[in-house]
Structure 1
C-alpha cells in the first residue's frame, strides 16, 4: 500500500509512513504524536512537501513512524484553498479556479490514487464530463461547448452558473445537425450606432413539410446594431409585408431614436409597391442586395443558418417530428437572443436591445417530456393530476412555457409544468413519416438553410392544405380538449391568470 494515497475526511493532516516520498525532510521543533484508531500512537519524525500529481502538491506532509498508509487530509486541502467533491464512483480535487488537479477512484469504501502505473505529469485522472455542462448545452440549443464555458465565465447572463471546460465532449445530435459548416468572413466593425437604426430581413423556405398550423416559410428580421432577431411564420411570402409593417411601427413606438433603413434581397415579397410606399411614408431608406448575391445580405443569411442548424439539432435529439419545425425555430431565436454575444461590443443581443442582462434560469431542453397540471376543480379522487406533454418553447407575450399535450394534440401555454430533461430522452416515441426521419432537412433549399429570395413571392405549387383550419386563419390546433383544459383561447396576449379551480393554462394556436 506504500504507492497508494487514500483521501480521508477524518484525518487532521496529510501524513505518510514512507520515507521514500520525501526528497528533503525538515525536523519538527517539538515532539508531536499522531493517534491512530486503536488508540495507538506514532511519532512525527519530520515534515516536507510531496507532489502526488502534476497539479497537486501536499504541503506540511507529516512523516509518521509505524504508519503503513498514505493519507490525504480533506480538511487540510480545504484550508489550502482547494475544493473536494465526492459523488458515487468518483472523487475530484479542484483548485481556486475550478480547474481539476486530481481525480481519485473508489478502493473498497475509500478513494485512492494509485501511483504505481503512472509517472511524471500524468499522475492524475481526467474527470468524467460534468452533468451541468451537458444540461446547459441542451438548454442553450446545443451551443458549442467552448463558447458555453467562455460565456459562463463572463457574468453577462443572470441565472447562468460558471461551468468547467471538459475534454473530448461529443454530442451526437450536434454531429447530425451541424456536420456541414460554412465559412464566413466577419465584418470588421460595427456599422450602426443604436438598436433600430438598420433592420435586415429575409425569408427562408419553403419547408419540406408544413408546420402544425400550416406554415411553409419563416420571415427573419435582424437588428444590425444588437443582432437581436425576430422570426415570423407565414403560409406564403406575400404575408411578409404585414409582419414587417407591424414590427417597424412597434419599434418606432418603443425607441426614441429614428429608424434609418431596411435592407433585404430582391425577392418579390420585399420589392413591391406596398413596401416602397410604406418606407417612403415613414422616411426609411429601403436598401437591396444585388440579385442572386446572398453575401451582400450576409447578416440574415448567417442568422438563417444558425437558427436552422440549431432547430434541426434540437428536433433530432428527441426525434421530434419535422412538423414542429416552426416551434423549434422560434425557440432557437429566443435562445440566440439571450446567449450570443455581439461581436466587438461584448454584450448579448438582449442586453444591447433592452439595456439589461438576460436571465436563463427558466430555460429547459427543447423536446423533453413534461407534465402539465390539470384543472383542479373536476378531478376524481384517484385521477392523475397532470397531462403528459412535449416541451416546445416559450410564450411570446407571457411568462409561460409552450407545451404540446399528447392526449389532446394541442399546444397550451402554461406556467404550471414540470420537466424531465434526462438524457437519453424519455419522451414517448412519435410515429414518424418519411419527412420526419432524423437528419432530414427542414427546408427544400437547405444548402446553408437559405435562399436567394429573388424568385418572387409565391407559395409552393404542391403545398398541401393545412391539417387544421380556423375562422381567424391562425391555424388552430387539432381536436379541442375542453374537458381537460377549459380556458380555450386563440392567442395569449397577457400572462395566464390563476383562477380558483382552474389550470393556469391557455390553449393557443400552434406555429
Structure 2
C-alpha cells in the first residue's frame, strides 16, 4: 500500500470542521492569561471552538440538509441521494471523479495505486481513469479528461481547480456558478444552485456523433527519429462515429492541409457522405489561410481546443499515444532499428 503522504489525495473541502479536543488536555501548569491551573489560553480557545462546531453540526443534522461539500457525501452518508449522471461543480475536489463506470467512453486502468480521501475521513481507491463526453445546454460537445473512477461517491464531481488549470474560470454569483473561458471571458457552462451545491447544466453524451463523418478528430505528433523515408511527423484523422482511423506520415507539418484534402476525398467517396466538423488544436498547420478557406468553401465547421489544453482534443491525442506505444513495442519485440517506426505505425493502425 502506498503511504498516505505520497498517494492519498484529499479532495474534500479545505477548512472543514475540526475535531473536538479531549476533555483532558494533559496540561498541568498555570494559564498565563487567567492565572488558573489546568489549562492554557490556546487550548481553552480550541475547546470553545470545538464545542461551537459541535453545536452547529447538531443543528445542521436536525435540519435534514447535508452541510458538507459534495466530497463529504460518501456511500455511508445518511443523506445519500439517488445515484445519477448529473455533473456537480466542486471547489474542494483535487481532480474530476465519478462513481459510475458507465459514463466512460474511454477508460484505462491506473499505472500506480492512488486513493482519495472523503470529507467523512474515509478513503477509497482510484480504480482507473478515463474520458467522459459532455453535451452542454448550448448543444456543444466537450470532452473531460482525466476523470477518476472512484467507488464510494454519490455524485460525479468536476474539480474547479482542475478546470482552472486548463483555461476555465468559475464565477460564483447569487444566480449560480458561471464557467468562463479564461482567455475570452465567454460563458461555457452554468451551474444551477441546488441548496449549497451547483449542478452543471449539461448531460453525459456517450457518442459525440450520430452519423458517419459528422465529426472528425485530428492531431499531429512528432517523432524524434527520422524514418527511412525521411518522415518526422504523423497526422491522424479519426471518425468519431465509427472510430475509423487513417494516418499519414509527414516530413513537414505544412503537409497537413494536403493530407486532409486527400482524406476528405477518400472517405467521402467511401461512405457517400460529407465531412461536417473537424475537431483539432490550434497548431499553425490547422489554422493556415488555405486550410481555413478550404473548410469554409466545403462547409466544414471547425472546432478548436483551447491552447495547451490537450484534454479537449482527447480522442485524437489518445489515439496518437496508442499508435506510438504500439509501434514502439513492435520495434522492441522485433529488435528493429528506430528508423523503421513508419512501417510500425502503419502496421499498428492496420491491425
TM-score normalised by length of structure 2:
0.43
Q: Which has the higher helix share?
A: 2
Larger radius of gyration: 1
Q: Which has the higher strand share?
A: 2
